[in-house]
Amino acid sequence: MITLSWHAFEINNVLTSLNSSTEGLTEEEAHKRLSQYGPNRLRPSKKRSSWSIFLSQFKNLLVYVLLVSAIITLITGHLVDAGVILGVIILNAVIGFIQEGKAEKALDSIREMLTSQANIQRSGKRIMISSENLVPGDIVFLQSGDKVPADLRLINVKNLRIDESSLTGESLNAEKSMLPCNEKAAIGDRNCMAYSGTLITYGQGRGIVVATGDSTEIGKINALLVLAPPMTTRLLLKMSEFTKTLTVVIGILSVTTLVFGVLIRGYSISDMFFAAVSLAVAAIPEGLPAILTITLAIGVQRMAKRNVIIRRLPSVETLGAVTVICSDKTGTLTKNEMTAKTVSTSMNDFEISGVGYETHGTFMTDGSEFSCYLLNKEKFSCDKYPDLIELARGSVLCNDTSLIKVDDKKSVQGDPTEGALIVLGIKAGLDYKSEQSKFPRLDIIPFESEHRFMATLHGRQDSKRIIYLKGAPEQVLELCSYQRSSGNNIAINKNYWKNLINRIAGKGQRTLAIAVKEVTEAHSQLKFEDVQEGMCILGLVGIIDPPSGEATSAIQKCQTAGIRVKMITGDHVLTARAVGFEMGIGDGITALSGHDLNNLKDDEIQRLVKEVDVYARVSPEHKMRLVRAIQANGDVVAMTGDGVNDAPALKQADIGIAMGRKGTEVAKEAAEMILTDDNFASIEHAVEEGRTVYDNIKKAIMFILPTNAAEAGIIIVAIALGRMLPITPVQILWVNMITAVTLALSIAFEPPEEGVMKRAPRDPKESILSPFLIWRIGFVSLILIIGTCGLFFLQRDSGVSIEISRTVAVNTLVAFEAFYLLNTRYIQDSAFTKEGIFGNGYVVAAIGLIILMQALFTYFPPMQSLFGTASLDFMKWFQIIVVASSVFFIVELEKYVLRKHFKFF
Q: What is the pLDDT of residues 252-278, one digit of tens each?
A: 888 888 888 888 888 888 778 767 777
pLDDT above 60: residue 627: yes
- CB neighbour burial string for 216-235, b if at least 16 within 10 angstroms, e if fewer: bbbbbbbbbbeebeebebbb
- Cβ distance 33 to 136 under 8 Å? yes
Highest mean pLDDT, choosing among 10-14, 156-160, 317-321, 407-411: 10-14
3-state secondary structure of 293: helix
> What distance in Å separates the CA atoms of residue 532 and residue 513, rounded to the nearest whole number?
15
**What is the pLDDT at residue 92?**
61
Mark residue 267 as left, alpha or beta (left: phi above 0; alpha: psi -120 to 50; beta: remaining).
Answer: beta
Least confident segment among 121-125, 228-232, 818-822: 228-232
> What distance in Å separates the CA atoms of residue 319 and residue 639, rounded to the nearest whole number?
11
What stretch of H or E contains 855? helix 841-859
pLDDT tens digit string along 754-796?
888 888 888 767 777 788 888 999 999 999 999 999 999 999 9
- Cβ distance 228 to 628 under 8 Å? no
> What distance in Å separates the CA atoms of residue 25 and residue 38, rounded to the nearest whole number?
16
**What is the pLDDT at residue 343?**
96
> What distance in Å separates the CA atoms of residue 345 and residue 364, rounded to the nearest whole number?
13
**What is the pLDDT at residue 625?**
93
Active site residue 596: no
pLDDT (mean) for 346-358: 90
Quickly state the pLDDT bin for 105 (edges 50, 70, 90): very low
DSSP 736-767: IIIIIHHHHHHHTTPPPPTTTTSSPPPPTT--
Pairing of strands 592-593, 614-616: parallel
Least confident segment among 86-95, 270-279, 385-394: 86-95
pLDDT tens digit string along 573-597?
888 898 899 899 998 889 999 889 9
Other beta carbons less than 10 A from residue 871's beta carbon: 13
**What is the pLDDT at residue 375?**
44
pLDDT above 70: residue 524: yes
Residue 8 identity: A
Residue 9 identity: F
Using the 8-state DSSP alphabet, how is residue 547 labeled? B
> What distance in Å separates the CA atoms of residue 498 and residue 518, rounded to the nearest whole number?
24
Using the 8-state DSSP alphabet, how is residue 349 labeled? E
- Cβ distance 483 to 473 under 8 Å? no
pLDDT (mean) for 279-286: 73
3-state secondary structure of 514: strand
Higher pLDDT pick, 482 / 167: 482
3-state secondary structure of 56: helix
Name 441's Cβ contacts closer than 8 Å, sequence gap at least 6.
397, 456, 457, 458
Strands (E), 62-150: 117-122, 125-130, 139-143
- Cβ distance 398 to 470 under 8 Å? yes
pTM: 0.69
pLDDT tens digit string along 34-67?
999 999 987 665 566 677 767 776 776 556 766 7
DSSP 505-566: HHTT-EEEEEEEEEE-TT--S--HHHHSS-EEEEEEEEEE-PBPHHHHHHHHHHHHTT-EEE
Question: What percent of the chain stands above pLDDT 90?
Answer: 40
Question: What percent of the chain stands above pLDDT 70?
Answer: 87
Q: Among 554, 559, 551, 585, which residue's Cα sits nearest to residue 684?
A: 554
> What distance in Å separates the CA atoms of residue 427 and residue 125, rounded to the nearest whole number?
51
> What distance in Å separates the CA atoms of residue 689 and residue 692, rounded to the nearest whole number?
5
Bridge partners for 674 per DSSP: 309, 658
pLDDT (mean) for 882-903: 90
For 206, phi then psi, to 5°, come to -140, 140
Bridge partners for 514 per DSSP: 470, 539
> What distance in Å separates the CA atoms of residue 482 and residue 395, rounded to the nearest whole number?
18
pLDDT (mean) for 95-113: 47
**What is the pLDDT at residue 817?**
94
Pairing of strands 614-616, 564-568: parallel
For the chain, give the longest Cα–Cα distance: 123
3-state helix, strand, coil in the chain (%, to 5): 50, 15, 35
3-state secondary structure of 24: coil
**What is the pLDDT at residue 540?**
97
- Cβ distance 151 to 216 under 8 Å? yes
> What distance in Å separates the CA atoms of residue 616 and residue 571, rounded to the nearest whole number?
6
pLDDT tens digit string along 149-165?
999 999 999 888 888 87
> What distance in Å separates the CA atoms of residue 811 and residue 825, rounded to the nearest whole number?
22
**What is the pLDDT at residue 102?**
40
CA quadruple 325, 331, 335, 337: dihedral positive or negative? positive
Higher pLDDT pick, 813 / 766: 813
Higher pLDDT pick, 523 / 764: 523
Quickly state the pLDDT bin for 729 (edges 50, 70, 90): confident
Write the CA distances from 735 to 393, 730, 791, 832, integer angstroms.
80, 9, 17, 26
| Mean pLDDT (the chain, rounded) | 84
pLDDT above 70: residue 394: yes
pLDDT above 50: residue 365: yes
Least confident segment among 166-175, 497-506, 640-649: 166-175
User: Which residue out of 151, 189, 328, 596 is catalytically annotated?
Assistant: 328
Highest mean pLDDT, choosing among 10-24, 182-196, 375-389, 879-893: 879-893
Write the CA distances from 352 to 330, 361, 368, 427, 551, integer angstroms.
21, 7, 12, 9, 20
pLDDT (mean) for 639-643: 82
pLDDT above 90: residue 530: yes
- Cβ distance 670 to 301 under 8 Å? no
- Cβ distance 63 to 92 under 8 Å? yes
**What is the pLDDT at residue 460?**
87
Q: Among 580, 515, 568, which residue's Cα sits nearest to residue 544?
A: 580
Bridge partners for 465 per DSSP: 459, 519
pLDDT (mean) for 92-97: 64
**What is the pLDDT at residue 271?**
73
3-state secondary structure of 443: strand
Residue 814 identity: V
Write the CA distances from 427 to 385, 386, 405, 420, 764, integer angstroms.
14, 14, 17, 11, 50
**What is the pLDDT at residue 800?**
95
For 32, phi then psi, to 5°, come to -60, -45
* Chain center to CA of 45: 25
pLDDT above 70: residue 98: no
Quickly state the pLDDT bin for 76 (edges 50, 70, 90): low
pLDDT (mean) for 859-864: 95
pLDDT above 90: residue 846: yes
- Cβ distance 757 to 681 under 8 Å? no
Q: Among 154, 50, 147, which residue's Cα sits nearest to residue 93?
A: 50
pLDDT tens digit string along 21-38?
988 999 999 999 999 999
Least confident segment among 68-72, 417-421, 453-457: 68-72
For 113, phi then psi, to 5°, come to -75, -20
**What is the pLDDT at residue 101?**
45
